[in-house]
């Protein structure tokens, strides 16, 4: 495990870092990583929604990382795909979720990317309104 900054170096100094990267139409032969997670969030119409697995299990987000440059530290971004039926009412896209037990398929390229870089089936996630001001921060952690 290593600590990395969430957000890849932007092309121009005053732009925002890239925290997510679209997976469709791309290949990722190198610099793959996993981000351990138990939840993720989406904002819709001024409200924040929390998504967890219905079975309560934790999971991993598929990501890519880049080494440090003279002006940016080593960093990572999560990959995204079209949202599954559970998430689609709240967002068009979601991060690629890799269930426990399948993480090496992504890291070691044991399965075709098309089998991994897709949304999980319906009835995988539950959504709940997160109405508190205490929005949890995602850890800057990738493996």
- 11-68 pLDDT per residue, tens: 888 899 999 999 999 999 999 999 999 999 988 888 999 999 999 999 999 999 999 9
DSSP state of 50: E
Distances, alpha carbon 55 to alpha carbons 50, 60, 106, 131, in Å: 15, 15, 22, 23
**Model confidence, pTM:** 0.88
Using alpha carbons only, what angle is made at residue 29 by residues 16 and 78, rounded to the nearest 5 degrees?
35
Phi–psi pair at 25, nearest 5 degrees: 75, 10
- 88-127 pLDDT per residue, tens: 999 999 999 999 999 999 999 999 999 999 999 999 999 9
Query: Which pair of structure tokens corresponds to residue 40?
Result: 């993720």
Using alpha carbons only, what angle is made at residue 113 by residues 53 and 1, rounded to the nearest 5 degrees?
60
**CATH no., domain 2-142:** 3.90.1680.10
Tokens 């999560």 belong to which residue?
Answer: 78
């Amino acid at each position: 495990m290593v600590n990395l900054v969430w957000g890849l170096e932007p092309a121009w100094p005053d732009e925002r870092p890239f925290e997510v990267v679209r997976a469709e139409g791309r290949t990722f032969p190198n610099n793959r990583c996993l981000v351990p997670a138990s939840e993720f969030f989406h904002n819709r119409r001024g409200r924040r929604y929390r998504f967890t697995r219905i079975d309560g299990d934790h999971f991993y987000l598929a990501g890519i990382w880049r080494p440090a440059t003279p002006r940016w530290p080593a960093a990572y971004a999560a990959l995204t795909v079209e949202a599954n039926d559970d998430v689609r009412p709240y967002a068009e896209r979601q991060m690629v979720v890799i269930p426990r037990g399948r993480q090496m398929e992504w890291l070691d390229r044991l399965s075709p990317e098309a089998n991994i870089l897709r949304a999980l089936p319906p009835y995988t996630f539950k959504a709940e309104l997160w109405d508190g001001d205490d929005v949890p921060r995602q850890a800057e952690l990738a493996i």
